[in-house]
Chain A
C-alpha cells in the first residue's frame, strides 16, 4: 500500500539520474573511438583488441556461456551479462534507461514482437552500418523479416519459434481421437475429448496476446501496418483475425479450454497428467516440456500446426527474438563484434545446445539436427516437423511500434471475453480501440478498421 511514497522517491531519483546523465553525456563527447555507429570488419577487429567492457542484458540461458567463450577468444574484452528480467520486465527497464538517457546496456535481447517499438523510436543502431545486412541469407525468411524494419537491420536473430501442435498422444489414443490437421477438426476433437472426460481439455487458454497474434498471423491476418514509422493502421477485424476469433470463440464460449494460465504450476501439472492435451506453441517448447513435465516423458508428440484450409500448410512464429545494439552504447564496435559472435558465429551452437531453436538456415538443415530422435517424444524426429514449420511461416506479418504496451492491456480487453466466455471479436474490437487510443496519445497517427 505504500507505493505512492516509493514512486515519489523513484521520481526524485529519476530527476537526479537525469542530471547525472547530462553530465555523462557531456563528458562522453570528449571520448571517441569505439562509439562509432558504422565500421567494417577491420574496425570491429581493432575494437575487439582494445580494453573494453560491454554490458549485455539478456535472459536466454546460453548467453552467460557465450560471453565466457567470447572473453576467452578476445581477452581484452570483458562481457558483463545482466539478467534484467524476462520479456516485458526487461523492456520496461530498457525503455526507462533510454528515456533517462543513460543506464542502458550495450547489447540487449529483444523479442521480435518488441523490436519495432525500440527500432522505430530510434533507440537501436542500424546494423547495416557494420555490414551485417550481408548476413540476410544465413537466417530464415521470417526471422530476418522480423529484424528488418524501415530499410534497416536492427537485430541479429538468435532463436525462432515456428509453431507446431504439441499433443499428448497417450490421451488421444485413450479416447480414440484423431490428431487434428485443421482447426475445424481441432474444435471437433476438443468437444469429443471434453465430452469423454470432463476433466480433460484440448488445451488451456486464459487469453494470451502472443498466442492470439500468432494465430491471426497463421490465419493470414495482417492487422498491423506501419508506414513511415508513425502512420499506423490497426484492423483486428480483418479476414484473418475474424477467422481466428470465430473459431476460437467456439472453444471459449463452450468452456472447452481449460482456464489455467500458461507457465503456472497448475499448467505444468495439467500437461503432465493429461488434462491439457495439446499446445499450439513455438518450436522452443521441447526443452520446457523435458524439464518441466518430466513425468509425461514418452507421451508427447509433435504434429504440424492445424491449418485453415485442409492440406495448405501454414504456420507462424511464436516468440523468439534477437539481440540489438543500443544507440546509447559507447562501445558499439565491440558490441557489434560480440553480437556477431553470439548470433552468427560460434555462439549459435551454444544457443542450440542450451535448447534454443535456431534461426540460422545452416543449423536448421543440418542432418544430425534434422534426424535427432528425441527420447522424450518417444523417439520422434521432432525437428523435421519444426523445421518444416519454419519454412511454412506466412509472409507479410508486422507488429506494432507499440506492441509491448498493447500486449500489456490485452487482458483488460480481450480478457473480458475470456472471463465472460463470450465472443472474442468483441474483445478484439475493444483491444483495437484501447491500442489505437494509446498510439494516438503517443503521437502516432493511428487508423482503425479498413
Chain B
C-alpha cells in the first residue's frame, strides 16, 4: 500500500513527465500476487470487522426511534460510564496481582526443570503444562464444582476438618478464585515459553561461569534471567491481553455466583451483555474499541520498557 501512496499523482507533478509514466508501466506486481490471498483473508476476517465496529460505534440504534448518527457521543458516554470503569478497575486489579504471581510461578518452574536437578524433568514439564491443554470452559466448570461450599471440595474440606473456609464465590473472594483458575490454566504455557528460552542459552556460558566459580544463584541472576528477558516481556504482554479480555471464567462461574459476578464484571462481559441481551450493539462496539486501544497502548508501553532495559 505504501508504494501506491508514494507514487506522485500525475496531475500534480507534470514535470516528471515520461519518466514517471514509464516507471509506472514497469511496476512489478508479483509481490502483491503472492501476498494477495493472505491480504484478502486478512481484510475479511480482521480489517473489515474492525472497520465495521468503528463504523457501528458512531451510531446509536434505539428500540424507539431507530438508528441515528451520533458522532463521538458513545465514546463520551463510555468515559463517563461507572460500570465500565468498575469493570476496568476489576481487571486491572486482576492484572497487577494475578499476572506477577503466575509469571513468577512459571519462572520458578522453568528454572527448576532447567536446573537438571530434578528427577523425571519431562514428567514435571508435561504435568505443569497439562492444564493448558484443558479447555478453559472445562477447567472453569471443574473449579466451579470444587469451589462449592455445599457440595464441592471446599464443603468436603470443611466437613473433614470441622472448619469453615470462606466462600470462594463470595464478593470478597470471587476475583481471587478466578485468578486461581487462570493461574492454574496458564502457568504451564508461560513455563514452556520460559523453558524454551532457557534451552537456547549456549552451554559454554555455563561452563565458563563454573570455571569462574559462579554458584547456581549467580548463574541464574547473571546468565539465565538476562537471557529470559524477551520471553518475560512476551509472557507479560500475552497476560495483559488475557487479563483485559477476561471473559470465559467469570461468565461460566456466573450461574454459580449470579449475585457476585454481575453482568458488567469485566469489560468484555459488559460488552457481551450489552449487545446480546440489551441490543446495544453500538455501545458494545464502542467499549470493544476503547478496550482494544487501551490494551494496545499498555502492551506497547510494556514492550518498550522491556526492550529498553535490555540495552
B279 CB to nearest chain A CB (Å): 6
Stretch at the interface among B28-36, B60-68, B101-109, B158-166: B60-68
Contact residues, B56-114 vs A (CB, 8 A): 56, 61-65
Contacts A7-B272, A88-B277, A207-B259 hold; do A1 and B248 have CB atoms under 8 A apart? Answer: yes
Chain B residues whose C-beta falls within 8 Å of the C-beta of A96 in the assembled complex: 276
Stretch at the interface among A72-80, A337-345, A415-423: A415-423
Chain A residues whose C-beta falls within 8 Å of the C-beta of B259 in the assembled complex: 206-207, 411, 415-416, 418-419
Contact, CB under 8 Å: B64 / A230: yes
Contact, CB under 8 Å: A92 / B63: no
B263, CB-defined interface residue at 8 Å = yes
Q: Which chain A residue has the least Cβ–Cβ distance from B283?
A: A441
A284, CB-defined interface residue at 8 Å = no
In the assembly, what is the distance between CA of A260 and CA of B169, in Å?
A: 13
- Cβ contact of B242, chosen from A1, A404, A416, cutoff 8 A: A1
Chain A residues whose C-beta falls within 8 Å of the C-beta of B260 in the assembled complex: 415, 419
B258, CB-defined interface residue at 8 Å = yes
Chain A residues whose C-beta falls within 8 Å of the C-beta of B277 in the assembled complex: 88, 92, 404-405, 408
Contact, CB under 8 Å: B49 / A3: no
Contact, CB under 8 Å: B247 / A412: no
Contact, CB under 8 Å: A261 / B255: yes
Contact, CB under 8 Å: A15 / B52: yes
Chain B residues whose C-beta falls within 8 Å of the C-beta of A416 in the assembled complex: 259
Contact residues, A1-24 vs B (CB, 8 A): 1-4, 7-9, 11-12, 15
Q: Which chain A residue has the least Cβ–Cβ distance from B264?
A: A412
B46, CB-defined interface residue at 8 Å = yes
In the assembly, what is the distance between CA of A358 and CA of B260, in Å?
A: 37
A354, CB-defined interface residue at 8 Å = no
Residue-wise, chain A 395-420 has the 8 Å CB interface mask toward B (1 for contact) of 00000011011001101100110111
Residue-wise, chain B 133-150 has the 8 Å CB interface mask toward A (1 for contact) of 000100000000000001
Contacts A7-B288, A207-B259, A261-B255 hold; do A402 and B272 have CB atoms under 8 A apart? Answer: no
Chain B residues whose C-beta falls within 8 Å of the C-beta of A408 in the assembled complex: 263, 273, 277-278
Q: Which chain B residue has the least Cβ–Cβ distance from A13?
A: B49
Q: Which chain A residue has the least Cβ–Cβ distance from B186?
A: A1
- Cβ contact of A266, chosen from B151, B268, B276, cutoff 8 A: B151
Contact residues, A407-449 vs B (CB, 8 A): 408-409, 411-412, 415-416, 418-420, 438, 441-444
In the assembly, what is the distance between CA of A18 and CA of B51, in Å?
A: 16
In the assembly, what is the distance between CA of A441 and CA of B283, in Å?
A: 10
In the assembly, what is the distance between CA of A441 and CA of B246, in Å?
A: 26
Chain A residues whose C-beta falls within 8 Å of the C-beta of B245 in the assembled complex: 1-4
- Cβ contact of B279, chosen from A88, A95, A419, cutoff 8 A: A95
- Cβ contact of B288, chosen from A4, A12, A265, cutoff 8 A: A4
Contact residues, B3-45 vs A (CB, 8 A): 44-45
A150, CB-defined interface residue at 8 Å = no
Contact, CB under 8 Å: B171 / A412: no
A50, CB-defined interface residue at 8 Å = no
Contact, CB under 8 Å: A92 / B248: no
A99, CB-defined interface residue at 8 Å = yes
B262, CB-defined interface residue at 8 Å = yes
Contact, CB under 8 Å: A1 / B278: no
- Cβ contact of A1, chosen from B49, B53, B136, cutoff 8 A: B136
Contact, CB under 8 Å: B279 / A99: yes
Contact, CB under 8 Å: B263 / A409: yes
In the assembly, what is the distance between CA of A7 and CA of B292, in Å?
A: 13
A374, CB-defined interface residue at 8 Å = no
Contact, CB under 8 Å: B170 / A3: no
Chain A residues whose C-beta falls within 8 Å of the C-beta of B247 in the assembled complex: 1, 3
In the assembly, what is the distance between CA of A401 and CA of B276, in Å?
A: 17
A431 CB to nearest chain B CB (Å): 12
A338 CB to nearest chain B CB (Å): 28
Residue-wise, chain A 351-369 has the 8 Å CB interface mask toward B (1 for contact) of 0000000000000000000
A121, CB-defined interface residue at 8 Å = yes
Chain B residues whose C-beta falls within 8 Å of the C-beta of A260 in the assembled complex: 150
In the assembly, what is the distance between CA of A240 and CA of B252, in Å?
A: 35
In the assembly, what is the distance between CA of A92 and CA of B52, in Å?
A: 21
Residue-wise, chain B 285-305 has the 8 Å CB interface mask toward A (1 for contact) of 100100010000000000000
Chain B residues whose C-beta falls within 8 Å of the C-beta of A420 in the assembled complex: 171
Contact, CB under 8 Å: B292 / A4: yes
Contacts A1-B248, A8-B50, A402-B63 hold; do A419 and B263 have CB atoms under 8 A apart? Answer: no
A367 CB to nearest chain B CB (Å): 43
In the assembly, what is the distance between CA of A88 and CA of B277, in Å?
A: 8
In the assembly, what is the distance between CA of A441 and CA of B61, in Å?
A: 10
Chain A residues whose C-beta falls within 8 Å of the C-beta of B63 in the assembled complex: 121, 401-402, 442-444
Contact, CB under 8 Å: B262 / A412: yes
Q: Which chain B residue has the least Cβ–Cβ distance from A275?
A: B150
Contact, CB under 8 Å: A8 / B280: no
Chain A residues whose C-beta falls within 8 Å of the C-beta of B205 in the assembled complex: none
Contact, CB under 8 Å: A11 / B64: no
B48, CB-defined interface residue at 8 Å = yes
Q: Which chain B residue has the least Cβ–Cβ distance from A402?
A: B63
Contact, CB under 8 Å: A12 / B278: no
In the assembly, what is the distance between CA of A151 and CA of B53, in Å?
A: 39
Contact, CB under 8 Å: B280 / A206: no
In the assembly, what is the distance between CA of A29 and CA of B171, in Å?
A: 55
B295 CB to nearest chain A CB (Å): 9
19 pairs from A and B in contact (CB 8 Å cutoff): A1-B247, A3-B248, A4-B268, A4-B288, A11-B285, A96-B276, A230-B64, A261-B258, A264-B255, A401-B63, A405-B277, A415-B259, A415-B260, A416-B259, A419-B259, A420-B171, A442-B62, A442-B63, A443-B65
